[in-house]
Each structure stands twice: as C-alpha cells, then as structure tokens.
Amino acid sequence: MDTTPQKIAFLGLGSMGLPMARRLLDAGHPLTVWNRTAAKADALVADGAVRAPSPAEAVRDADVVVTMLADPAAALAVADELIPALRPGTHWIDTSTVGPDTVAALAARLPAGVTLLDAPVMGSVDRAAAGELLILAGGDTAPVAGVLALLGEVTPCGGPGAGAALKLVLINAVIGGVALVAEALTLADSLGLPRDLALRTLGAGPLSGAVGRATATGSHFPVALAAKDVALATATAKLPVLEAVHNLLVRDPALLGEDLAALTR
C-alpha cells in the first residue's frame, strides 16, 4: 500500500461526510473541502483544510476525490460541476448511497484517465468517526487503498457498480428488519406485553441484529434517507414488503429527520 499522503478533495460534509473528512485530515492528507452549505466546513478549515469555492475548484489539483452526497440528484448535480475539472490520473471514490444506475451514469461521463470507485458504506456516524465503516467497493481499490483504510474495512464486491448494488441489498434488509421489529413491538403492546420483555426476547432470536439497530443510540440515519434507499430498491425489482415499508417510512413527516430507530417509538 502506498503511504505517501495523497491530495484529497472531499465533497459533501453532512452527517457522514464530516467525520470521514476529519479522519483524512487528521491522518495528514492535504485536504480540500467543498460543501453546498459552506459553514459545515468551518471546523475542518480551522484545523488546516482548504475551503474550495466550488466543486470544480475542489477537485482541480486532487489525487483522490471523495464524494459523500445525499442521493442520486445531489450526486449528479455535483458531478456536473466537478467532472469537467478532473485531471487525468485522479481517482474518484463515491461513498454516497445512490445505486448502480447512478454510478453507471457517472462512469459514462468520466474524462480519460480518471477512475471511479463506487464505495458506499454500512455503519452510521459513530462508525464513520471511528474509522470503522464497512466499505462496499465496486472496482479496483488498489490506487486508493490507503485512503479507504482510514475510513473502514473494505469488502470487494466485484466490478464497477457492484458496491452500489450490494449496498442496496444490505441497507434494505436492515431497514426492513427495523420496520419488522417496530411492528412486533406494536403487536406486543396491543397484546398487553411489556416492551422490555418483547425487546429482550426478540434480541435473543434471529432478529437480534435488527433489534440492535432499532435500539441504537449512536446512529443518525434519517428516515428520509432510508426512504430514498427503499425507493432505489423498489425501482429495481418487485419487492412488495419493501413497498409497504416505504409507505410506513414516509407516512409521518415528523419522523423524516429522525434516526431510523424512531420507527420503534
């Protein structure tokens, strides 16, 4: 693994991007940052990152570009601005959850000599800060292995788009599992059973991981982003259970900004 500090541009400093960018800066990489809401970069800039006024300026001199954006619309909008400024030899890692179709659309527009790795992540803000994300990589990770190692553990998934595809599989299983735990708790309540008893016994069975996620306190994965991920899945295949889960997710506007665990409250 090449350990020479690479010049990194990080675009998208939301709940996930900010702690991820912080790890790259703290590891000694020269870091240029851009975020639509510029103030979110303030703390990084105070600690030595360079603030770019636009996506194009952010990536112009970068060896590695990392994007962590909300959804396909955001990724495509930022891509419109950054792609013309990418120079040959740049490696672009997209860690956003956008699905394989968007990854293919981005890849089709790459300038010659630029690579794109789809590398969406499992794990929330707590694991992003700790560098303990599960990184689902589609394509060749070798040129960016040092950067990825600072963010978490890489699972090679196959060729371009395979990381984005597996991410939809894994996150939809998690979201569906949390929704099922929420319904099981509603059922327990309607049968007059204590919530603690239901949670403890569910957690001792095959849904233990879903119970763990449904009761997590260090995560911040808003219901709105979960709904986006379910919509990406149901646009791909016939998934009646997940279609019902999508309806559940978007039913209460007050929940959209809350962590997924709010489904169980």
Least Å from the CB of residue 226 to ligand NAP: 8
Q: Which is nearer to ligand NAP, 206 or 253 (CB)?
A: 253
Neighbouring residues of 198: CB distance < 8 A, sequence distance ≥ 6: 184, 185, 188
In whole angstroms, the minimum distance from the beta carbon of 224 to ligand NAP comes to: 8
Q: How far apart are CA 234 and CA 239, in angstroms?
A: 6
- Does residue number 35 form part of the binding site for ligand NAP (CB under 6 A)? yes
Q: Is 15 an interacting residue with respect to ligand NAP (CB under 6 A)?
A: yes
Decide if residue 109 touches ligand NAP (CB under 6 A): no
Which 181-220 positions form the footprint of ligand NAP (CB under 6 A)? 219-220
How many chain residues are in contact with ligand NAP, going by CB under 6 A?
28
Question: Applying CB under 6 A, does 102 fall inside the site for ligand NAP?
Answer: no
Question: How many angstroms from the chain centroid is the CA of residue 54?
Answer: 22
Q: Is 254 exposed, middle or buried (0-12, 13-18, 19+ CB in 10 A)?
A: exposed
- Closer CB to ligand NAP, residue 40 or residue 51? 40
CA distance 105 to 118: 12
Residue 121 touching ligand NAP (CB under 6 A): yes
- Relative orientation angle of helices 240-250 and 223-234, to the nearest 10 degrees: 150
CA pair distance 247, 225, nearest whole angstrom: 14
Q: According to CB under 6 A, which one of 8, 9, 10, 12 is a site residue for ligand NAP?
A: 12
Q: How far is the CB of 144 from ligand NAP (least distance, A)?
A: 18
Among 8, 9, 10, 16, binds ligand NAP (CB under 6 A): 16
Give the contacts of 138 (CB within 8 A, at least 6 positions apart).
100, 103, 117, 118, 119, 157, 158, 159, 160, 161, 162, 163, 164, 165
Q: Which of 10, 34, 92, 221 binds ligand NAP (CB under 6 A)?
A: 221
Rounded to the nearest 10 degrees, the angle between the axes of helix 223-234 and helix 162-190 is 120
User: For ligand NAP, which is the closer residue by CB, 16 or 182?
Assistant: 16
The span from the CA of 205 to the CA of 77, in Å, is 44
User: Is 225 among the residues that bind ligand NAP (CB under 6 A)?
Assistant: yes
- Binders of ligand NAP among residues 49 to 78 (CB under 6 A) are 68-71, 73-74, 77-78
Residue number with CB closer to ligand NAP (52 or 188): 52
Q: Which residue is nearest to ligand NAP (CB)?
A: 14
What residue ranges bind ligand NAP (CB under 6 A)?
A: 12-17, 35-37, 40, 68-71, 73-74, 77-78, 96-97, 121, 124-125, 219-221, 225, 229
